[in-house]
């Protein structure tokens, strides 16, 4: 169930937020709701995986012997040496 909420926010912040929401194809209400959900999850010590990330889980299959630390180490050595 959704409930109407009245907020008092600086006009310049509202303009920027509306512009951002429009650019990302979302509503200002959706942005605020997701932000509040994030705050609550952080406070409770749990983070919920976003629906977009959930869709990606399992889409990449790595070899059984894949060593993430070694790959990262090799990458950073080649990048910084």
3-state secondary structure 1-31: CCCCCCCCCCHHHHHHHHHHHHHCCCCHHHH
CB 36 within 8 A of CB 22: no
Q: 8-51 pLDDT, tens per residue?
A: 999 999 999 999 999 999 999 999 998 898 888 777 766 677 77
30 within some domain: yes
6 within some domain: no
Structurally, how many domains does the chain consist of? 1
Residue 47 pLDDT: 64
Instruction: Record the pTM.
Output: 0.52
2 within some domain: no
Residue 44 pLDDT: 72
Domain containing 42 equals: 11-80
Residue 29 pLDDT: 94
Q: 57-68 pLDDT, tens per residue?
A: 778 888 889 999
43 within some domain: yes
35 within some domain: yes
DSSP 21: H
């Amino acid at each position: 169930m959704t409930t109407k909420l009245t907020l008092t926010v600086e006009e310049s912040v509202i303009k920027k937020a509306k512009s951002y929401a429009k650019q990302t194809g979302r509503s200002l209400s959706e942005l605020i709701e997701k932000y509040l959900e994030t705050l609550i999850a952080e406070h409770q010590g749990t983070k919920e995986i976003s629906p977009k990330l959930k869709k990606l889980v399992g889409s990449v299959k790595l070899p059984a012997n894949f060593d993430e630390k070694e790959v990262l180490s090799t990458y950073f050595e080649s990048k910084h040496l």
